[in-house]
Structure 1
Amino acid sequence: MAAPGGVLNCEDFSLFQEVLKVMRTIDDRIVHSLNTTVPTASFSGKVDATQTCKELYESLMEAHLSRDKAIKSCIKETSAVVSQLREERAKDSDNLSVIKQLRKEQTKLKLMQSELNVEEVVNDRSLKVFNERCRIHYTPPKIK
């Protein structure tokens, strides 16, 4: 899965987190973006706040969706590896290298699943800040 900072690497959790960090830049800078693009009441005539808020919202949603897909893709990939290793362990329960690799992959899978929770918090925070500044200028469509 391609990401702004490169290719999302599901095998190395540290690289996986690093790419997610880069992908979360828009959320990390939401306050700055809103402060520099959405006008205060005294400057409201100079900038189209509705269009600006709409574009920012669409960028946020696109970023949230791409990260969600990336995380779920890696979870799926790692789950497949865990399943394969479980089958190998079932065939040869004395093979320590398979057991060790299985534990490693299971841990990585749990960490990736926890990234979904982190993602939810990041998304909620960004949308809260967005709604505080843009609610009078733009109302996002209802998500079904």
Structure 2
Amino acid sequence: MSNMSAPTGSVNCEEFAEFQELLKVMRTIDDRIVHELNTTVPTASFAGKIDASKTCKQLYESLMEAHASREKVIKNCIAQTSAVVKALQERREKDSNDLTLLKQIRKEQTKLKWMQSELNVEEVVNDRSWKVFNERCRVHFKPPKKE
């Protein structure tokens, strides 16, 4: 199976463009799932040549890991940005005349809204991937029941 793992390391939540780029890279597995399934899960005529259940199991584990790591990154950045907004708002309460602070708060709130919208995007991306996965792998692999 091709390597479609997510990058690791710390995430810079301060720069939204960097955050978006990281998510784009981390969504590679979902973007390529149809190709991955077409090249690794055999059609009925080639079923004997490849262990489709093993391939589907590996892809299932890769998807689970990718989805969990992206959700963790997004939620971590939301928490960090929320804390920044809160701190800025507390400073603003002490100095309501500081327009620079007000602009900074608005900028951070906008960034926070974008990050929160990424959770919705994530849900759509994940649903699409699981639909394709289930269409091709349901005969070969049964995912464990979620607790």
TM-score range (shorter-chain normalised) is: over 0.9
Q: Distance in 2 between matches of 1:14 and 1:7?
A: 15
Tell me how far 1:141 sits from its aligned partner.
1.2
Asked if the contact 1:49/1:137 (under 8 Å) is kept, the reply is yes
Asked if the contact 1:30/1:129 (under 8 Å) is kept, the reply is yes
Q: Distance in 2 between matches of 1:8 and 1:71?
A: 10
Pairing 1:1-144 to 2, within 5 Å after superposition? 4=7, 7-144=10-147
Q: Counterpart of 1:45 in 2: which secondary structure?
A: helix
Q: Distance in 2 between matches of 1:115 and 1:80?
A: 18
Render the CA deviation track for 1:23-63: whole Å, top value 9, x for unaligned. Answer: 00000000000000000111111111001000000000000
Tell me how far 1:125 sits from its aligned partner.
0.2
Contiguous gaps of at least 5 residues in structure 2: 1-5
Q: Distance in 1 between matches of 2:39 and 2:47?
A: 13
Cα root mean square deviation, aligned:
1.1
Asked if the contact 1:5/1:23 (under 8 Å) is kept, the reply is no
Tell me how far 1:9 sits from its aligned partner.
1.5
Q: Distance in 1 between matches of 2:64 and 2:57?
A: 11
Q: Aligned residue pairs: how many? A: 142
Q: Distance in 2 between matches of 1:95 and 1:71?
A: 30
Tell me how far 1:85 sits from its aligned partner.
0.4
Render the CA deviation track for 1:82-123: whole Å, top value 9, x for unaligned. Answer: 000010010011101110100000000000000000000000
Q: Distance in 1 between matches of 2:43 and 2:87?
A: 57
Tell me how far 1:7 sits from its aligned partner.
4.2
Q: Distance in 1 between matches of 2:117 and 2:33?
A: 23
Kindly report structure 1 stretches of 4+ aligned residues shifted beyond 6 Å: none
When normalised by structure 1's length, the TM-score is: 0.95
Q: Which amino acid aligns with 1:8?
A: V
Percentage of matched positions with identical amino acids: 74
Q: Distance in 2 between matches of 1:128 and 1:41?
A: 20
